Amino acid sequence: MKAGPKLSLAMAVVLLLFAYGPMLYTSEASSENPAVSMAAQMAVRTFPSGSPDVVLCSGDPKRAGDVAAGQALASYLAAPLLLTQSSSDLGRQTIHALSLLAVPDVNPDNDVQPYQPQPGKPKLYLVGNASAFSPSLLQKIKSMGYPVEKVSAENEVGLLKKVADIVAPSLPSGQDVKGFPASWVTYAGNQEHNPVFPVSDSAPNLEKQGVSWNFAEKAAIPFGLEFPDLNELGMRNAPVKMTQSLGNAVGVTAVNGIIYAESDDAHLYALNAKTGKQLWQAGPAVNCLMGNPIVGNGLVYVTAGDTGFSFSQVMKYLNSQGKTELTRGLLYSAIYAYDQNTGRLVWRQDFQGNAMPSPAIVDNTVYEATGDGHLYAFESRTGKMLWKTDLGGFDSMSSANFWRNPQTGQTEIIVGVSDANNVVAVDASTGKILWKQSTSLDIFNTGMGDNTPAVDQNKGLVFQDSVVDHDPKTNTVDLAVYAMDAQTGTVKWYRKLGRGSTPPAYKAGIVMVHNGVVYVGSPTTSSLYALNEETGQLLWTYHFENTGPAGAGRGSAVYAYDVVWVAAGPTVYALNPATGEKLGSYNPGGRFGIVNPVIVGKTMYLDNSYDWVHAIPLNKIYPGLK
């Protein structure tokens, strides 16, 4: 959905109808409506490379209401608006414009091209009542090879209502909100990273049975196609580039019947959880949106950033022999706060370093760690900066978590940083550093700053993992998971999970902790591990299927209905929590990056690197689910 030039174009068509209304039809049967001609000219000039969609309305000035409805739909679709000469005649200018609005085939090698619409004739949305388009005209349009969707009603008010249901559908309410959380305060919804909201007896039947839909975001790649740049980058690196630059890097958020999804296409989407219909869309942001939307105090908080390093920053770091702190982030970065119901921007703050990590909201303060090595605290409603603290290393993708000390009431903001490769705890009120975890392990690459810590609030434990023990001769690493005391940072235990090829990017797996068990994936071995929370003892291992050389297991698992659910590679799995045995699996299309499932009732919500959002009934993944 775009505004601006496209909205102005559609508005201009309305004005043309009124301006030329008295002279539209003369005694000469061959005379053409000048508004039709001008609408065609503006459409072709505004969409010089064609459009996958075109809105078509009647050029009759008595049907200005149809054009008003068409204007709204064209703005929503970011599509051109054309007019017919009459109910039985497209008009030669409109026919010519349609031929020019076909998307050209610019892909002689048949590669997968991001942000390039599929070639061919546009789909026509015919907006108006039945008499606006005669059967003969409709038949002619179809015979010309144009796909058609009619948006019609008996009268003008009904037509506007039908378009409004597409462009501005009602927000979920009543039964459709039951069972959903009212807020989403940290990455994956809670400190444990287990975003599961079971059905209640009063839940609507759809929630008990599960819903099914797919939503294509702006850069969506059709299912079944390979990764962009596959020929150049190969199966090891092409999926990584796609996750970092095109689709959804991490999981979705579910609040009050709405699914919020951030995309690398620089937009935030709000979708009806029941139907998958778009409620609103915000963007483009200043950079890729690679986090998990945080919702609280009536606002949705998202952050924009990228994975790059500027050449000057790298040289400065190298020339100082590692003594100068390195800043990650090549382009612009920012945190945005949008109204959670409308998508209206309320405030924004910009950063020097990347802002890929998700923020966290505790009470009335929003916290964000960035690639410039600082943790920032903002007043949640206004965006006023309260303080910032130097963490001693840059943050890559480590989203902030928190722990409340039950004895003192003090809240710690906990985050991982690279370069120094520490987990750091900061006083939420003052910004004072409370502790930095230290370990004797040989942490490799972006290490602790690549990953988001999990917290067990009741047991006072923090869990983090990172790649260690890099062997440059074989380019292999191990993955180690750590349990730390939340009050002091002292390492309680660690366990190395197994060696394998060094992952090309995001080299860790996000921990989920539930009922005394730590679940963590490793892209090094493409496996999921279950460990005893108190001792680190290995309970079981499950090796993912068809993962490819990029590895899989980065996103956290969830525990619901006595089943462990996890998305890895192209597949969603249901596993026995006692043994790790596979109970079921399902391939919804696309591939998953650092995505965790979100379960509300009997529906799993998740997104993927192909720039799609899914709703999947749990029994489609595991038919034996009770």
Question: In this predicted structure, what is the pLDDT of residue 483?
Answer: 96
Residues 6+ positions from 38 with CB-CB distance below 8 Å = 12, 13, 16
In sequence order, what DSSP letters do the residues of 357-396 get, joined into one string?
A: S--EEETTEEEEE-TTSEEEEEETTT--EEEEEE-SS--S
Q: What size, in residues, is the chain? A: 626
Quick one: pLDDT band at residue 3, thresholds 50, 70, 90? very low
- More confident position, 447 or 619: 619
List pLDDT tens digits, range 207-250: 788 999 999 999 999 988 888 888 888 888 888 888 888 899 99
- More confident position, 193 or 327: 193
The model's pTM: 0.93
* Whether pLDDT at 12 is above 60: no
CA distance 306 to 317: 19
- More confident position, 324 or 408: 408
Query: Average pLDDT for residues 470-486, to the nearest whole number?
Result: 94
8 A C-beta contact, residue 257 and residue 279? no
* Whether pLDDT at 82 is above 90: yes
- Residue 260 DSSP SS3: strand
Burial of 613 (0-12, 13-18, 19+ CB in 10 A): buried
* Whether pLDDT at 90 is above 50: yes
Task: Say how many C-beta atoms besides its own lie within 10 A of residue 493's C-beta.
Answer: 16
List pLDDT tens digits, range 37-67: 999 999 999 999 999 999 999 988 888 889 9
CA distance 506 to 467: 10
* Whether pLDDT at 19 is above 70: no
Residues 6+ positions from 44 with CB-CB distance below 8 Å = 80, 97, 100, 101
Of residues 273, 308, 270, the one with CA closest to residue 288: 308
CA distance 77 to 57: 15
Of residues 17, 46, 43, 35, the one with CA closest to residue 98: 43
Query: Average pLDDT for residues 313-330, to the nearest whole number?
Result: 78
CA distance 33 to 84: 9
Quick one: pLDDT band at residue 330, thresholds 50, 70, 90? confident
Question: In this predicted structure, what is the pLDDT of residue 309?
Answer: 78
Quick one: pLDDT band at residue 6, thresholds 50, 70, 90? very low
The 3-class SS string of 194-257 reads CCEECCCCCCCHHHHHCCCEEEECCCCCCCCCCCCCHHHHHHHHHHHHHHHHCCCCECCEEECC
List pLDDT tens digits, range 263-311: 999 999 999 999 999 999 999 999 999 999 999 999 999 999 998 877 7
- Residue 538 DSSP SS3: strand
Of residues 458, 538, 450, the one with CA closest to residue 496: 538
8 A C-beta contact, residue 304 and residue 272? no
8 A C-beta contact, residue 49 and residue 103? yes
Of residues 573, 478, 570, the one with CA closest to residue 524: 478
Question: In this predicted structure, what is the pLDDT of residue 1?
Answer: 44
* Whether pLDDT at 316 is above 60: yes
CA distance 598 to 149: 34
Could you check whether the bond before residue 117 is cis, i.e. omega within 30 degrees of 0? no
Question: In this predicted structure, what is the pLDDT of residue 18?
Answer: 46
Query: Average pLDDT for residues 430-445, to the nearest whole number?
Result: 86
Of residues 207, 402, 371, the one with CA closest to residue 296: 402
* Whether pLDDT at 314 is above 90: no
| Secondary structure element (H or E) that encloses residue 318, with its range | helix 311-319
Query: Average pLDDT for residues 299-327, to the nearest whole number?
Result: 83
CA distance 285 to 229: 24
The CATH superfamily assigned to 205-621 is YVTN repeat-like/Quinoprotein amine dehydrogenase (2.130.10.10)
For the chain, which residues make up each domain, given as ranges?
5-167, 205-621
CA distance 490 to 437: 6
Question: In this predicted structure, what is the pLDDT of residue 9?
Answer: 52
Of residues 532, 399, 366, the one with CA closest to residue 461: 532
Q: Which residue has the tokens 């929630």?
A: 207
Question: In this predicted structure, what is the pLDDT of residue 31?
Answer: 64
Could you check whether the bond before residue 577 is cis, i.e. omega within 30 degrees of 0? no
Distances, alpha carbon 524 to alpha carbons 304, 491, 519, 585, 616, in Å: 27, 23, 15, 22, 28
8 A C-beta contact, residue 165 and residue 249? no
Quick one: pLDDT band at residue 7, thresholds 50, 70, 90? very low
List pLDDT tens digits, range 103-158: 999 988 888 888 899 999 999 999 998 889 999 999 999 999 999 999 999 888 99
CA distance 48 to 71: 19
Would you give the DSSP letter of residue 557?
P
Q: Would you state the structure tokens that stand for residue 370, as one six-digit string?
A: 């960035």
Give the max Cα distance, the chain.
92
- More confident position, 420 or 591: 591
